[in-house]
Chains A and B, each alone.
Chain A
Amino acid sequence: DAGVIQSPRHEVTEMGQEVTLRCKPISGHDYLFWYRQTMMRGLELLIYFNNNVPIDDSGMPEDRFSAKMPNASFSTLKIQPSEPRDSAVYFCASSSDLPRINEQFFGPGTRLTVL
């Protein structure tokens, strides 16, 4: 079975540019999560969806960040405009509904570098 798929795996961009990260969750999973990992702040939840609906976006740092899930098999995280402090590894994860809601399966991550 394919796991969580993320693209691109690496992204290098210049400050001010728009960045779009993509995620395909595991088929049949109802929950999708976006995380950011940095050395300074560790692994932080940005937003999560249940059945394509955003449930908790309290971790989204500011208005420059937005996330969508137009259907059960695709989600995007967009940063516009990007800043150097956005440089991090962004993970997408998915999980199924009860009883395994807590077991989140992570994608390989997108390493973002903003120059």
Chain B
Amino acid sequence: EDKVVQSPLSLVVHEGDTVTLNCSYEVTNFRSLLWYKQEKKAPTFLFMLTSSGIEKKSGRLSSILDKKELFSILNITATQTGDSAVYLCAVMTTDSWGRLQFGAGTQVVVTP
């Protein structure tokens, strides 16, 4: 059975701290891994990762994929209160084009 596991489930940090979120997966025929940010409403797309070792970066957020060890990390540097959200990881396989399997998410709370 395919699995997507995120850790930690939640964390609280102070503004300015750096946060590292983990997503590990066990799926057959892996195609890509995606990160989404969900505030109080709909998830919004952050990154899509397909190749190992290539860092994707957007402002203070960055992510990298390790296809050998089957995990990805999402880093947020110099955190701000606006980074408070649930961060979701999802995996797509080649077996079902378009089907995303989501992890449970990591809730991040950034305090002033």
Contacts and interface: CB of A to CB of B under 8 A. Distances in A.
A106 B102 contact: no
Contacts of A33: 98, 100
The B interface, classified by DSSP as helix, strand, loop or mixed, is strand
Interface residues of A, number: 21
A47 to B, nearest CB: 10
Interface stretch (B14-22, B40-48, B66-74): B40-48
Contacts of A65: none
A104 interface: yes
Interface residues of B, number: 21
Nearest to B104: A42
The listed residue with most B CB atoms (<10 A of its CB), out of A44, A95, A104, is: A104
B96 A56 contact: yes
Interface in A27-60: 31, 33, 42-45, 48, 50, 55-56
Interface of B: 32, 34, 41-45, 48, 88, 90, 92, 96-105
